[in-house]
Structure formats: C-alpha cells, structure tokens
Structure 1
C-alpha cells in the first residue's frame, strides 16, 4: 500500500468532516480524515518523525469508516491509519497489557484456562449484573487501573461456548454450515452463539463448530500488531479452505469478525505484498456471511417467523460500522426483527457506537464514552424496550453507555431475539 498515493488523492473537499466520529467530539482538524492524511504525507516525505504525540493522534481514530463512505473517491483512510499504526508500533512498541491480551486471544487453550479462573474470581472484584431487566456485565467493587468503578464491563461465562458443545451438531438436515463464533461470543456473550444453534435446529441445518478456528485478528490488526495478524489470518484461511470443501458456507454472528475475514484479510495481505494470500482470502470470502445475512438469503427463516405470533416488545436497531459501512449489511437483521417484533428506527441510523478498539477502550476511554453517551441518549429517546445489533463490541460499548445514563433499554443481539421468537 502506498500511503502517499492515498494522501495525495485527497482533494481536501471536507465532505468527510461532518461524518467523522472523532472530529465530532474534538472539533480539531488534526483529528479528522484529511488531517490524518496530511500527517501521514508529512511523515512519508520525511518532514515529520513518528513519536508518542503522533501515536495518540492516530490512535484517536475510531476506524468507523464513515469517511470512506462519505468520500467521493472512497479513499481507504482506515487502511492508511492501520498501516501507520503498524509503523508507529515498530518504532515505539505495543503496551505490555495489549501484548498479553493478543497472546491470549491467539492461544485458545491458554485463554480457556485464564477464562475459567477469571470466571471463578471475577465475583471477588466485581458486581455481576445479569438479568432480563438490566444489561449484562460487571462493575468493579473498587477502582482498578484503567477501570472506573461505575463502568460496566463484560463478564466471563462459566464455560466457553466451544467447550460447551460437541464438534458437529447433526440436526437431520441435507446441508451443513460452519460456525465461526468470535472471541466475545465464545467467552462472554454465549447466548448469542447458542441462539445460532437454536435457529439452525429449527431450520434443520447441521452445524460444524470448526473448533480449530483461531481469533480473526481484528484487535491485533486495528492496533498495528501485523505479525500476529499474519499468523492468525493464514491459519484461518487454510482451515476455512479445507472446511469449505464439505460445508455450504461459514456464518459469523459478529460484524467485526465478519468484516475482518471477508474484507480486511484481503486488504491486509495486499498491504504487505502477499498477493497470493490476498487471492486466497478473496476466494473464501464468497462463502462467508454474517449470520443474519445467511439466514435471510439462503433459508426460509422469515417464512418460519411469519407463522409465529408477533411480540409486543418495541425493538430498535443500531448499525455496526463493520456491517453497514464495510459490508453493506443493514436490511437483513431489520426485516427479520420487524417480522417478529414492533420495530422502530433510531433518529440517526449512521452513528458509530464509539467502541473504537483496544486502545480506545483502555487508553482513551473518555473519548469512547463521549461518543457512546451520545448514541445511548438517541437510543433512550426512541422509547424502545430493546436495542439490537449484530456486534458484541457494540454490545459491550452500548450496554455500558446505557448503564451510565440509567436507561431501561436493554441490549440483545438480533439472533437472540430471532431465536426467542422462533422457539416460543
């Protein structure tokens, strides 16, 4: 990837500015798409050296891709920032706690052990919140480094989803699909993953849990840990190629994981001049779907739902950036939800939730919360009972933001709501 080509292609028209998530709270031209590109050009031309101040600027981007959508030339500002983060981390390095997190995510057997002990001991330091009337998660009993006492965090399940189920689930169907669960749904939001199995059972679709799957690499990619991304991506591509010899498709209940595997694997390998791997990534992408997209397009799920009585709960929907903007998925979940529930659109269907990745959640939480609170207020004003989104990162962010404003709106993945409507 030639970063100077991207930067020089920007005509500074400013159409990206109103939609930029970080500019919306900073009002600083430096923290804007064209500001980022100017700084990248200055660095590549030798006029600006990478340092900790620049690191903070480039880590402030939420990678929501609003700018790419707004740009008349569709310039991949997000890819340029991901590349410059890699350059910065080569010089400055990655914080130890991020390295530890990425190591654990990349080694599931070790992560399984850590998660098991985490489940046992989390009640010692946290208040666990898990009910139908509140957003699930946990709050610290006392202040911890980088963790505010009133912040709602994800809690760990007693047993991971993959370890709770057998390798292959035979529902007596003629076809089988693979299931890439994602780390958050595997260790925390296991109800989301279980809902996929419930839906598949009703539709008589066999499910291969593909237990040798690895982390998709999205947290590492957005942080600039390209070496680990390369290992994970190659391992997954080889594994998926083999599995797809007998599976009709692979479905993913997570917008971020789906976008990483379907879109960013190809971008990543092209950026490091691994063209053959980029071709292999592109080839498998045609058989990989976000879960609601697959169920909507290739199964009679909607017809099954129409036979059930419509629920009175008022549901609204938040579009994950990695679903709507990167993959053009926005109608499928809505239509399925509208079939079974009273559905209402938010006043703004284009806003980012403010999750922003590992750095934003750890080092720039105040910025993340600013964006999250704005979105939470919009959700609360909708008067909905439930806000839904096919993304566990959005779930983590919005659950906390709704908690901060004491909203009664609770978060549910659309797959959970669909499964409930289908099986009740």
Structure 2
C-alpha cells in the first residue's frame, strides 16, 4: 500500500484548498474536500478506515483538477494520493465492463480504428448531429448516457490515418505530432489545423504512427496495468525517433501533462526508476502545441505581419492540466490575441468539471453541476468562442454550453490560429 500517512501528517489543516476545490464547490462537505480526502487516507493506512463502498464513493468524487496542489503551502500531492487509492479500489471492486472495454480499445489502436469507423457509419442510428456546438445528442435513452447530453462528434477517418508518416513543408524544422485520442478520433479538426500551421511555417511533420494513448483515462480510474503497458510502449517508441525531431508537440493539455509529469511520477511510485528516468529524459523535447509555437517558431511574427483581426470575440478557459500542472497559460492567449478580439472571463482558472471517465459516467451529475457555473461565466463575457487546448475540456464545456443554450461555441486555439492564417 502507498504511504499515505506522510501526506496526511504534513497537512496543517489550513483550509486554503477548500474554496478552490471543484467537488467542494458543487458538494460542500468536509469529507469531499482535499483536507478530508487526505485525512481519510491517513486513517485508512492506520487501519482505522476500510475502503468500503462509502469510502469508494468519496474517493471517486475527486475531479483531480489539482487546484488544491496549486494553493497548498506544503505542496501536498493530493491528486497523486487519490490516484493511488483508486488503484486499490480497482483491485478490490474491479472496473466496470464499459471502462474495461474502453481501456482495451485504447491499448489496441487497430481495433480502435475499426470501432471508430463502425461508430461513424452507424452513428445516426442512435445519435443526431448538433451543428452549432459541434457534437451529437442521443435520439433516445442510452445506457449510462442522458438523452439530452452532447457527445463528441465522430470522424470518418482518424487524423493518424489521414496523412502519410512524413510531410515535407520546406525543411525549416521537423516536429513529431502526438495527437491524443479525442483529437485523433473525434475532434479531428485540431490535427488538420495543426498541419496547416506547420505548413505555413514550412516545418516538416513526422506523424508518429505507432503512438499509443497517453494512458490518462486509465490512470485516473485506477487501471495501472494499462498505464504501465501504454507508457512503456510510448517511451520506447519516442526514444526511437526523438533525436530526429526538434520537438514532439501535443495539442492536448491532459495528454501533455500525462506524458511530461504523470509518467515519471507513476514509475517512481512503482519503484521503476529506470523507466522514470527514461520518461524524464524525453521531456526536454515534449511541448504543448501553443507553448512550442509561441516560443520556438516565428508564428507570433507571422500573425503580426499578416495583420489579421477577425471580428470574433474570444475568451480562454485554462485547462487544469495546462496551467496548474505545466504552468502554461500565456502562450495560447498571446497567439489568439494576434488575430482576434480577446476578453477574459471572471475565473478562467476554475475547473470545467470533466473529471475523467468515472465522472463522465456514473457521476455525471457532479460533472454537470460543475459545468453550469463555467458556462454562465463564459456567457457573461459575451464571447462568440471559448477556447482551450484540451479536448476533455471541449467535451465538458460543449455540453455545458449546449445545456445553457449559450451563444458561445468551443474551439481549440490551434483551430483558431489556422483559421486566421487561412483568411489572411
């Protein structure tokens, strides 16, 4: 069992984590707060608390937004200890069949390709397109899914299957793209937009065809066997080409944070120090897309020179895994601001409420409650578009905006930048 006592003993019970905690904002109870989670985990390790179904329900209510770690004066890794206890929960109670099926597909890219293709072909049998918010709503009640819920769209061809392995754009550099599962199969406009940007910059592209899922969905659910399998395969694959590219760029905050932060933490906590070091060595060449484009290319100058200023008013939501985990928030704003009118919402750092697979299934009522105030916050800006470099946020916020009948729609900043270059 993981050593929870050291974390529990280090908590000074100051309560700074309480106001920023996403679950406490929608379910104000001391037990479902970072301070409560840590105290319960300490009691668990001392043998005073069994992880029964009640405790399971509590520990699965955390959104893993990391807001508590950002404000904690002792830098306690509350998110990490929750992830560890979820592994115990998965071992004791098992993982629901639909999650196991999902993780199986994430481990097997070719089968996922076939499943995605079949889903696209037969999608209209159960789903109908919602053009405004860029998703699909069920035609009737589906298992685990609310009838009025907005689901991600489906693409006829994944991004990885849309391009050859190498794209020559002029040789001003060469980057690999790690696309992320939602962007690869659902929100494919992100990948196509990224290719357009790199073409405009004359930067060659290596589509890393053998890439696997980053394993974030499995990690947040407690399926550590899947995490180990996917992380090791990705690390070994990245090492095979890392010296041949300037960077591996990731247009997804959650994937980027998983690769750059959580892989190393996962392996260190398992005592696999060699794999932890291998993961760490890759980090110097792995970047979120806007981070790399803003700081390592001439894109800011190109946008400035073209003088594009579209009429759309854009606001930006900070994905938890971008700002809180990686400290990335200036770069997407700087690039968007070159081409669009920009406005800040009152609390861009507040979690949207995605929360992972469990939160989006059994506990969707909590995700829905967390999404409502965020949608209202976006509406208050009067923005036409809310942007965030995260498809998990996109899935959550698009649904919240749809439910709120909001004016704003969602776009990844990569898509906005590509649109601006195209219209220049």
Q: TM-score range by the shorter chain?
A: over 0.9
Answer yes or no: is the 8 Å Cα contact 2:137–2:148 preserved in 1.
yes
**What are the ranges of 5 or more consecutive residues in structure 2 without an aligned counterpart?**
none
Distance 1:128 1:400 in 2: 13
2: CA distance between counterparts of 1:157 and 1:7? 46
Structure 1 runs of 4+ aligned residues shifted over 6 Å read none
Q: Answer yes or no: is the 8 Å Cα contact 1:255–1:322 preserved in 2.
A: yes
- In structure 1, stretches of 5+ residues that fail to align are none
Deviation at 1:262, TM superposition (A): 0.4
State the distance in 2 between where 1:210 and 1:316 align: 32
SS of corresponding position for 1:289 = strand
SS at match of 1:63: coil
Measured in 2, the distance between the counterparts of 1:350 and 1:160 equals 31
Provide Cα deviations, 1:273-305, integer angstroms capped at 9, x if missing partner. Answer: 111111111110111000000000100000000
Aligned position for 1:76: 77
Deviation of 1:2 after TM superposition, in Å, equals: 2.5
CA contact (8 A) 2:60 2:86 kept: yes
**TM-score of the two chains, using structure 2 as the length reference:** 0.98
Q: Which residue of 1 aligns with 2:355?
A: 356
- Secondary structure (helix, strand or coil) at the match of 2:134 reads strand
Q: What does residue range 90-129 of structure 1 map to in structure 2 within 5 Å?
A: 90-129=91-130
**Alpha-carbon separation, structure 1, partners of 2:384 and 2:226:** 41
Q: Is the 8 A contact 2:177 2:208 kept in 1?
A: yes
* Alignment of 1:330 onto 2:329: yes
Aligned residue among 244, 250, 253 for 2:251: 253
CA contact (8 A) 1:30 1:36 kept: yes
Name the residue aligned to 1:311. Answer: 310
Deviation string for 1:114-135 (max 9, x for gaps)? 00110011101111123xxx11
CA contact (8 A) 1:51 1:92 kept: no
- Specify the SS of the correspondent of 1:313: strand
- Deviation track 1:235-269 (CA, whole Å, cap 9, x = no partner) reads 11111111112111100000000000001011100
Within 2, Cα distance between the matches of 1:87 and 1:139? 35
Aligned position for 1:172: 170
1:76 shift after superposition: 0.5
* Corresponding residue for residue 58 of structure 1: 59
8 Å contact from structure 1 (residues 85, 224) kept in 2: yes
Q: Distance in 2 between matches of 1:9 and 1:26?
A: 25
The whole-number CA distance in structure 1 between the counterparts of 2:5 and 2:241 is: 39
Q: Is the deviation greater in 280-289 or in 1-10?
A: 1-10
Residue-by-residue CA offset, 1:155-191 (whole Å, 9 max, x unaligned):
2101111111111111121421110000000000000
Aligned twin of 2:209? 211
SS in 2 for 1:124: helix
Q: Indicate the SS of the match to 2:383.
A: coil
Matched, 1:228 2:226: yes
* 2:292 match: 294
SS at match of 1:162: coil
* SS across alignment from 2:338: helix
Two-structure CA RMSD over aligned residues (Å): 0.8
**1:143 to partner: Cα distance:** 0.8
Contact map agreement 2:388 2:412 (CA 8 A) in 1: yes
Q: CA deviation at 1:144?
A: 1.2
